[in-house]
Structure 1
Amino acid sequence: MLIPDNELTLERLKAFICKWAGPAKPEYGIRTEEIPADLPFVLKDFYRFAGNWPNPSFGMGSDTGGLRPKLFEAQDIWMDASGLKREDGRITFLLENQGSWSCEVDAGRDDSPVYSDAARLWDDYLEESEVVCPSLPHFMTTFCLQELVFGSRHFGKLQGGLDPAVFRDTLNPIWLDGYYVFKEPSHSFYLCGDNLLIMDYYSDVWYGCLEESALSLIADPSMVNPIEP
């Protein structure tokens, strides 16, 4: 199920999210009247679809102080619609998990690119946010698939680069050469079998699955380095 990079991107992304995390429910979305009117259409639509979607990896109240983490806040944080920040005509909608950078869109512009100040981490001369991805649907696809990997009940890193021979089933591409905050392709995603999600992130290979049995698709168990959530 390769997600196309065109006008069908978000609908195919939604279909994959439902395949991975279960069927969408009305309560997983945010009501239209609670979504700011000046957001680009893509973000409005996605808040309606998944703005409150809980992470299926966590049961209600288990080790969470009574709160259930949301599906798209495992690594970086898609902000609540009620907590969006505005400055100089832009809306901040996504934060790095330690607050090291943020992402913004233009208010009131449906075709807004995505801006970020992430490059301040490696560019001492960057003074403000810059365009990191010209397509908001493209950016959201990379972000959401990343969060599905890192938000999985079982996730971690595989030793070595991406090698199809390591897996007992075919690696089917889901999203290739995805842009995030680096102004260049950084993320590619593959599905092995039905329930092992693989992310190639700058040649670091990460895996995620909701059931531990999916790890049997990795031929050499010694390659698996699990990370505790």
Structure 2
Amino acid sequence: MSHQNLLVELFVEELPPKALKKLGEVFASQLCAQLRQLGLASSDSVSTPFASPRRLAAHITHVAAKAADTAVQQKLMPVSVGLDADGLATPALLKKLQALGADVSDPVFAVAALRKAPDGKAEALFYDSQMTGATLDVGLQHALLAALAQLPIPKMMSYQLETDCELPGWSSVNFVRPAHGLLALHGSTVVPVKVLGLSSGQQTQGHRFEAHKSPVQVDHADDYAATLLRDGAVIASFG
């Protein structure tokens, strides 16, 4: 399983100065927490927040390209409800198995694959399966939306999107300030995610007047701060 460091940056218009430090800290911590819940980041993963007047970013170490599959044990129903007197599956059991995505084309085989165990009151039927781990693009999309929803935004703005929306010029989104760029790199690979009408890439903007390049291209997640300083004349760290 491939592990790399992850960098996510949201490039925005000037953020409220008094809220900037807290916004950066919460963005990074929530993003890391969400990725941990999905099994994409580990307990050893370290999140580093970045916050400057026009950006919120997070660098997270040891992030997997795909979470490990996990074993799932689901209690179905009591044996007395799921099996008839001959030990065959009842319609209720077959319906439950179908809802879980199990193959019930051969009911006898489907019953044989189940496990019987006491549940404290009576003997019950249990269905064991494997849950496929989330891929990073799907997991980061979820984590990013959840992290943005947790930001301690003092006052929301509503603004219209011009591209990548249902009604350009009319479709609206809400955020602390209008967002203009989204950077998402897993190592040197762009993670395809979308938020606030933006699609991810590996470019950002530096200082309005002092930047040596425009746009600033970040080739690797670990090069973010150094590249911004060298090409964009921006110190990304709030501290």
**Is this a same-fold pair by TM over 0.5?**
no
TM-score w.r.t. length of structure 1: 0.27
Larger RCO, structure (CA 8 Å, separation 6 or more): 2
TM-score w.r.t. length of structure 2: 0.26
Instruction: Compare CA radii of gyration and give the structure with the larger one.
Output: 2
